[in-house]
Structure 1
Amino acid sequence: MTEGNFVDYVKMHVFSGKGGKGSAHLHREKYITKGGPDGGDGGRGGHVIIKGNKNLWTLFHLKFKRHVKAEHGENGGKQRSTGADGSDEYVEVPLGTVIRDSETNKIIKEITEDGQEFIVAEGGMGGRGNWHFKSSTNQTPRYAQPGIDGKQIDITLELKVLADVGLVGFPNAGKSTLLSVITAAKPKIADYEFTTLKPNLGIVKYRDFKTFVIADIPGIIEGAAEGKGLGHRFLRHIERNSTLLFLIPADAPDIEKQYEILVDELRRYNPELMDKDRLIAISKSDLLDAELKEELEKELDDNLGLPYIFISSVAQTGLIELKDRLWQMLNKEAV
């Protein structure tokens, strides 16, 4: 999948179908000149339905689908025959998609399960035929109900990546390299900032055929919560991760300051992110000799007070221990 094919934000206008008109038909047959009303009901208009599909990973297939319209219901007929319902229109989305009302920006629904369906615009009811209105005082009603109009709504679809672990770090911290080493994912890797312009998902194979999903979120910069850099276009992908893995390179000028900036950006974007489990991975640790590593450990113990681990994606050191720590954090309730 290329960078341009990852679409996680789509706006569209949806129309549900109008209900069919009820029939005002009067029964007529040879030898029966006044058979009375027998007009049938109109059919229901089609719904517009959002449906979860576990085989989709992006909203790219909806990128150019600006309008979605369901069929109108058919009109009622004679002999009390009901008109056919309009066909429902399905919009399939990947799991983790949030549906918002574009006008109010309020969340209408979140799609998190395969096959989950949500009617975002209900079709109009069909009108009732004239036979419903027959009474002792009005035995030949010559009127029927019109169908109810369908609904129109502007919606915004936002994809929040579903992953167990979210990789958080500054641009060029080595997140894509780590993902490529511990999973089968093949993210774009280069020695410049903002190499990653879309979230990359990878499945980590653990012991006894167990797996968990890790997501490389595009690099955060100071001010991201206000929209700087790639802004909170991608910060929302972190919301669904149960564990956050902060990746800070060993050659960073100030590891503690980098961590505090990252945490502050997440806090400002959504304070609830502070409730998630956190682990700090010091990447590029192959650059450290034993003396420097010992000095850095003492500094981290004194100042951060959070669990940390030294790793090197290039030298492939500390990766097994990293998987163990992440697995324990993800399954601590089951242990």
Structure 2
Amino acid sequence: MTEREALKILELSPDAGEREIKTKYRQLIRQVHPDIHGSSEERYTRHAQRINHAYAVLKKRFAGNADTPQARGKTSSQSPAKKETGAWSAPINSHAYTEREILHYAEDSNGSALGSFPIAHGKYLWKTDEDFPLFLLSVYQCGKELLDEIDLEFRRKEPPTNRRQIHGELTYLLAQQFIDGTALLKEFARSETPDSQGNPIFYMPAMLEFSGSPTCLKPGEQLSPAGVKNHRLYLKNQAGRVLGYLSFPDDRLYYIAIPLFEHKMALVKIQASEKQPQKKKRTAARYQNLHLWIKRTDRDIHSVVESLNLRIERVLKQYQQGSVSPIRPL
């Protein structure tokens, strides 16, 4: 659906602002609701889907921008990261193993979420103007479809006992194909400074989640990676003791940063923060605040893409065989 079509459906002028669009959307969705005007469920579903789709298209023009004529006039051609690719404005990964749906929340007349519906389909990368839980849901559904196809092919009456484990691993691998970690580091980093060669170093707050007995870290104490296991980057102190694993205040960083470490695409510097959780808080014993600096390595991204597809194939083959052996990490 084009923006022009969306404006026509919502009966709006081209210069409509964000508040006007939201108000009109709620008016129209209320008009077709069966509890209010006695329309049939079938008619409501049909009209509500068109109205919700139009609203989703128009909402994109305000993603990350102020509600001003200048912001509304800014097109995706002004930013390489917002390259138009058809039904959805986002770059694509043509080498991704499968396509996915772009999902959008359906809202009632009060703005409460009723569920989700697809507004586009393709190999689109995730951007911050796409709801992250819905992104994960779309990837989860991709994995489900792949596993369902195998069950159907083998005419299984019941799925193998390891389906949940396989599905979780598959979701994680598929998500990596739709996340550009390097580009997103720029958006999520608290600050960015160049090294002596001009390469960017990204800073962001992080946390150490203890896996054993909690240890009180001294401000500025250095930690280093101890290795990646089960998609967690474990950290050790200077004495070599493994303390726990790296965590983030923002869960989205788990899917952005950890794959960079898994694929040896990043170097890190980690220090204990001067500010730590108050001891009286329940979480204080489990977490310690960290300073985290990340610098990208020059590893070829194409080798990573090939590696991901091979790992996805291996996981699917494992499911075909009904194997219960543990999934080997990268």
TM-score calculated relative to the size of structure 1: 0.23
TM-score calculated relative to the size of structure 2: 0.23
Which of 1 and 2 has greater Rg? 1
